[in-house]
Amino acid sequence: MLSFRSELENLNNPVVENDIIDLANKISQFKNLQIDEEKFRSLRLARGVYGQRQPGVQMIRIKIPYGKMTVRQLRRIADLSDEYASSKLHATTRQDIQIHYVSLDKTPELWAKLEQDKITLREACGNTVRNVTASDKAGIDPNEPFDVSPYAHAVFEYFLRNPICQEMGRKFKIALSSSAEDSAFTFIHDVGVIPKVKIEDGKEVRGFKVYIGGGLGAQPFLAQLAYNFLEEDQLIPFIEGLLRVFDRYGERARRQKARLKFLLNDLGLEEVLKLVAEEQKALKVKTFKIDYTSFNETPNLPAPADFSNVTVDDTEKFEKWYTSNVFEQKQKGFYGVYIKLLLGDMSSDLARTFADIAEKYAGDDIRITVNQGYLLKFVTKNALKPLFNELNKVGLAEPGFDSTADITACPGTDTCNLGISSSTGIAKALENVIKNEYPDLIYNHDLKIKISGCPNSCGQHGLASIGFHGSSIKNGAHVLPAIQVMLGGGVNSDGEGEIAERVIKVPSKRGPETLRTLLDDYELNSIEGEYYKDYFKRQGKMYFYSLLKPLGDLETVIPTDYIDWGKEENFAVETAVGECAGVIIDLVSTLLYDSDEKLEWSASALKNKNFADSIYHSYNVFVNSAKAMLLGENVKNSTQMSVIMDFDRIFVETGIFSFEEGSFREHVLQINKHEPHEGFALLFHKKATHFLTRIKAVREGETVKSVH
């Protein structure tokens, strides 16, 4: 009997209830050695449960679609962090909230309590469509053609639990910017869209500029323009077609090559768009019109109050805060107020206080920003002073939001298996340098500093004017914690992205001096009004390498250089297998277990008349079962298409299996030759059932000669 049954009964959502029960059952099966460890890892990741650097505890990633959160939801997360985690909320660069040190056994109960306020963990991690991000200003941006929030919400809902994107080769990221300024960084996403309008027959037509195949990490790629104008009702069908192509043709064996950017690079844009077009007939929907008129653009507002007699407690700080953290919305008379937050961290007590302040002065629509801060919306002008006073009392009125002084950093070695050297420790040190030595940089919104604990770019160092990522340097028999310096990234005046370039590696403890050297050089040698990325281009990479080379000199290291930020002992590299994506599962028994499960899902979808979902589950029965058969013959595959082709070569051409269509490929790829109607769904399910039965019969009773 589930100990949290009463929590589930409060949800009134059978789909969510079954999801949470399934996680609890999988945890039990894993502990009873009924599920392989690698398979279980894939299952829990897709449910937001991520292994920490510290053994025996989990990081829980809470999915906050496009960063939109109510006051009630923030309080709920804070309370549950106290009950199950470390009483700290960490805002991420993908507008999620992470909590840490959670017991695995408690994760279903925690999830059930989150869902009582419509908060999900589903597909926050793993090889899925991750959190859909959007400009935090969406809905209030004076420069936006229209509010992208309802579109972001529709994309989130459409692909949540969608069978086409549950077990892809790698993660898939989608972003929507509010305007051509591209504050959501569409150019680093698998799909990034920017709103546009045009006039046809005297009527306004909404659409999107669509980019695909972007990504950061160790091998960054700028996204390519797929459409200059894609009408709004085609956005979701296009993304669905692209996901189907990525699922079928994307790499699965080599994790470092498994993102869409590599498939796009290998096949070319024209071929990828051709394959997407071939999927159109099989799509669940051919058009998807979003009813944005029903989307509440103006949230619940606090009752009007007279604050005319309020004075500010710190006039100088208020002026700095007002200049750097406050802007007037497109709704006249209302203001957006940004909260600058060191490392994106907020204690649960502070989060509750923040929720109280937000409820008193702002609309009930808090947005998490992509640089780990928060945005309050619909603050009246006469409420700005009392709002500042209350924020300032609890340390949430620091000026310089999204400026040089607002450093982005992932948790790194604090909790992540992939962290190499400390990102949080050096971020604190660099913020102190700016605060104490370069205070005017709170007004500079061009030069950005971003830090990651490893090359994977969770801290978005590849986008930075000055970026750092964790590394190490060998010095004889010893190893130093180090940072790779990257320069020249960002968004240009046309909203186009530029990726930072690697320049030099220096010991981590020399990070503050590295920053001073770069800032002093920029101040001394730049042209009046010259942006940092333009200055970097003008001077060239070798100029900066020469400038920083003395700081990389290992002949001058001192004992403290061997100790990382926040540590007392000498540095040692302690990375493990990361969980930024699900692992590759190749065990035969696990694959056949998957096939049985997906066949059940196909039958359930049929019963509920979700014909497109049933068809895709049946398709996965074919692919998983064929992969299991090939693996039994020591044949490993890197894509679904290679599974299909090799099954033909080894089992069909040799007469062991036969199909009325002549080949396994023709048999399976009926999936994109038919509309997703009931007749084909029934037929495809029947064929998948027959195929799995034949596979099991061959494995259990017949001998298949080995392939050499």
- For the chain, domain boundaries: 5-115, 133-294, 315-393, 408-562, 588-701
Write the pLDDT tens digit of every residue in 661-700: 999 999 999 999 999 999 999 999 999 999 999 998 887 7
Q: Give the residue from 170, 259, 251 showing the smallest Cα distance to 219.
A: 259
Question: Is residue 706 over pLDDT 60?
Answer: no
* CATH for the stretch 588-701: 1.20.120
> With left for phi above 0 and alpha for psi between -120 and 50, is residue 655 left, alpha or beta?
left
In which band, very low, low, confident or very high, does the pLDDT at 496 lie, cut at 50, 70 and 90?
confident
User: Residue 43 carries which side chain, given as an amino acid letter?
Assistant: L
In this predicted structure, what is the pLDDT of residue 237?
A: 98
8 Å CB contact between 49 and 62? no
Query: CA of 190: how far to CAs of 206, 210, 218, 260, 651, in Å?
Result: 22, 10, 16, 6, 36
In this predicted structure, what is the pLDDT of residue 701?
A: 65
Confirm whether 133-294 and 408-562 share one CATH topology: yes
8 Å CB contact between 132 and 155? yes
In which band, very low, low, confident or very high, does the pLDDT at 284 lie, cut at 50, 70 and 90?
very high
Positive/negative CA dihedral, 376, 381, 387, 388 = positive
In this predicted structure, what is the pLDDT of residue 580?
A: 55
Lowest mean pLDDT among 326-330, 413-417, 653-657: 413-417
Percent of the chain exceeding pLDDT 70 equals 96
Query: CA of 604: how far to CAs of 177, 596, 598, 615, in Å?
Result: 37, 13, 10, 11
**Residue whose token pair is 């420069």:** 143
Write the pLDDT tens digit of every residue in 592-650: 888 999 999 999 999 999 999 999 999 999 999 999 999 888 899 999 999 999 999 99
How many whole angstroms separate alpha carbon 11 and alpha carbon 702?
A: 49
In this predicted structure, what is the pLDDT of residue 578?
A: 55
How many whole angstroms separate alpha carbon 121 and alpha carbon 64?
A: 9
Q: Mean pLDDT throughout 565-591?
A: 67
Q: What is the mean pLDDT of the chain?
A: 93
Write the pLDDT tens digit of every residue in 46-67: 999 999 989 889 999 999 999 9
Question: Is residue 702 over pLDDT 90?
Answer: no
> What's the order of all strands across the beta sheet hosting 97-102?
49-51, 58-62, 97-102, 88-91, 345-347
| Token couple for 168 | 């892809």
Tell me which DSSP letter residue 528 carries: T
Pick the CATH number of 5-115 from 3.40.50.300, 2.60.40.10, 3.30.160.250, 3.90.480.20: 3.90.480.20
487-508 in b/e form (b: 16+ CB < 10 A) is bbbbbeeebebbbbbebbbbbb
Query: CA of 401: how far to CAs of 88, 125, 365, 462, 506, in Å?
Result: 21, 28, 19, 20, 28
Q: Mean pLDDT throughout 404-421?
A: 90
Question: Is residue 83 over pLDDT 50?
Answer: yes
Question: Is residue 177 over pLDDT 50?
Answer: yes
Fold that domain 408-562 belongs to in CATH: Sulfite Reductase Hemoprotein; domain 1 (3.30.413)
In this predicted structure, what is the pLDDT of residue 294?
A: 82
Question: Is residue 707 over pLDDT 60?
Answer: no
Question: Is residue 591 over pLDDT 90?
Answer: no
Element (H, E) at 415: none
Strand 408-409 relative to strand 374-380, pairing: unpaired
In which band, very low, low, confident or very high, does the pLDDT at 581 lie, cut at 50, 70 and 90?
very low
In this predicted structure, what is the pLDDT of residue 587?
A: 63
Question: Is residue 583 over pLDDT 90?
Answer: no
In which band, very low, low, confident or very high, does the pLDDT at 99 lie, cut at 50, 70 and 90?
very high
In this predicted structure, what is the pLDDT of residue 700?
A: 74
User: Residue 363 carries which side chain, given as an amino acid letter?
Assistant: G
Write the pLDDT tens digit of every residue in 547-560: 999 999 999 999 99
In which band, very low, low, confident or very high, does the pLDDT at 140 lie, cut at 50, 70 and 90?
very high
In which band, very low, low, confident or very high, does the pLDDT at 576 lie, cut at 50, 70 and 90?
low
Distance of CA 386 to the CA centre of its chain: 35
User: Residue 440 carries which side chain, given as an amino acid letter?
Assistant: D
Q: CB-based contacts of 378: which residues, under 8 Å, 6+ apart? A: 140, 298, 299, 301, 329, 331, 334, 362, 363, 365
Distance of CA 399 to the CA centre of its chain: 27
How many whole angstroms separate alpha carbon 603 and alpha carbon 423?
A: 48
Provide the whole-model pTM: 0.93
Question: Is residue 585 over pLDDT 50?
Answer: no
Question: Is residue 1 over pLDDT 50?
Answer: no
Is residue 383 helix, strand or coil? helix
8 Å CB contact between 423 and 412? yes
Lowest mean pLDDT among 47-56, 119-128, 263-272: 47-56
Quick one: CATH architecture of 133-294? 2-Layer Sandwich (3.30)
Is residue 393 helix, strand or coil? helix
Q: Does domain 315-393 have CATH number 3.30.70.3340?
A: yes
In this predicted structure, what is the pLDDT of residue 218?
A: 83
Is residue 206 helix, strand or coil? strand
| Token couple for 530 | 């010259």
In this predicted structure, what is the pLDDT of residue 193?
A: 98
Q: What is the DSSP string of 24-74?
A: HHHHHHHHTT-S-HHHHHHHHHTTTEEE-SSTT-EEEEEB-GGGEE-HHHH
In which band, very low, low, confident or very high, does the pLDDT at 586 lie, cut at 50, 70 and 90?
very low
How many whole angstroms separate alpha carbon 473 and alpha carbon 462?
A: 20
